[in-house]
């Protein structure tokens, strides 16, 4: 997820005039991302392993969010064939119903979509 965010932030900045993106690795279990539009912070998040539920991957709005907060969480689950990530599924984030199992790439894309929502006017 970390590499996905780093690459996506770089691409966003390279393709959009007036956008500056910042990625900061906090420690081995967490990172923050911030997107500035013409010098003003337009979107930011914190992503960390664990979080207030103690397991999974937590997403918090804002790059200064306390470690005991979250807006969404992904938990690791399995069926008889594979491991997958399942979002807590906050409905106001618009997670599609019936599609609640994610690969690692799908999970990174989901969290990326949460970060960039303010840029898209949602």
Tens digits of per-residue pLDDT, 60-97?
A: 999 998 888 889 989 888 888 888 888 887 544 555 55
Of the listed ranges 41-45, 52-56, 90-94, the least confidently predicted one is 90-94
Q: Which two tokens stand for residue 86?
A: 């399942």
What is the tally of structural domains in the chain? 1
DSSP-derived secondary structure letter, 96: P
Query: If DSSP codes are grouped into helix, strand and coil, which group holds residue 116?
Result: helix
Quote the pLDDT of residue 66.
85
Reported pTM: 0.87
DSSP one-letter code for 100: -
Report the mean per-residue pLDDT for the chain.
87
CA angle (68, 21, 26) in 5-degree steps = 35
Query: Phi-psi region for residue 18, left (φ > 0), alpha (ψ -120 to 50) or beta?
Result: left
Which element (helix H / strand E) includes 78? Answer: strand 72-78
Which residue range forms the structural domain that includes residue 12?
2-120
């Amino acid at each position: 997820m970390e590499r996905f965010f780093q690459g996506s932030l770089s691409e966003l900045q390279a393709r959009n005039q007036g956008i500056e993106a910042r990625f900061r690795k906090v420690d081995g279990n967490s990172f923050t991302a911030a997107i500035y539009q013409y010098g003003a912070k337009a979107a930011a998040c914190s992503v960390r392993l664990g979080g207030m539920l103690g397991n999974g991957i937590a997403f918090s709005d804002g790059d200064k969010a306390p470690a005991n907060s979250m807006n969404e969480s992904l938990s690791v689950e399995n069926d008889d064939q594979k491991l997958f990530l399942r979002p807590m599924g906050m409905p106001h984030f618009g997670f599609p119903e019936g599609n609640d199992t994610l690969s690692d790439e799908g999970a990174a894309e989901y969290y990326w979509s949460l970060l960039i929502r303010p840029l898209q006017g949602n």
